[in-house]
Every structure is written in C-alpha cells, then in structure tokens.
Amino acid sequence: MTIERHSNGEITVTYDPQVCTHAGRCVKGLPGVFDAKREPWIDVNGATAAEVEAQVARCPSGALRFIRGGAKP
C-alpha cells in the first residue's frame, strides 16, 4: 500500500494505512475532514488548517501526519 496525500496548499495530510490501528479518533473528532464512507475519505477543506493539525496530532498510531503548506512530507 502507498501513503495517501491530501493537500489544499495550506496543509498536507498524509495517511499510512499500514500503521493505522483504526481507533477512529480522526473520524469522531473531525467528521467534516475524516469520513470513512466518502471517497476520498480525507477532505482537508472540511475544517481550518489549525483544526486539521490539532486532530491529526491526536492520532494514536501516527498513521496520520501533517505538514503546513503544499510541500510533500
């Protein structure tokens, strides 16, 4: 599997499915951004960059990461 990248130029979120433990904190904490029933399941435009950053920081496995700006992490 490959690492997914989702960016809007202000923030880039990456997701590594091999690391994910499916705790669900992302989906429960920020459903406007993280929605497992949607494709793609991450929409970084669903909240402010600060809100996305804070929620990604709560990921217990480290499967979600972020970098500010459009650079690739």
- Check whether 34 has a pLDDT greater than 80: yes
Domain extent for 17? 1-35
Please tell me the predicted confidence (pLDDT) of residue 69: 76
Residue 71: inside a domain:
no
Q: How much is the average pLDDT of 6-31?
A: 96
Which residue, among 16, 51, 11, 50, has the nearest Cα to 31 in the 3D structure? Answer: 51
Residue 67: inside a domain:
no
Residue 48: inside a domain:
no
- Check whether 73 has a pLDDT greater than 60: no
Residue 17: inside a domain:
yes
- pTM across the whole model: 0.89
Residue 41: inside a domain:
no
Q: What are 46-58's pLDDT values in tens digits?
A: 999 999 999 999 9
Domain count for the chain: 1
Percent of all residues in the chain with a pLDDT value above 90, rounded to a whole number: 92
Which residue, among 36, 13, 41, has the nearest Cα to 24 in the 3D structure? Answer: 36
Please tell me the predicted confidence (pLDDT) of residue 70: 59
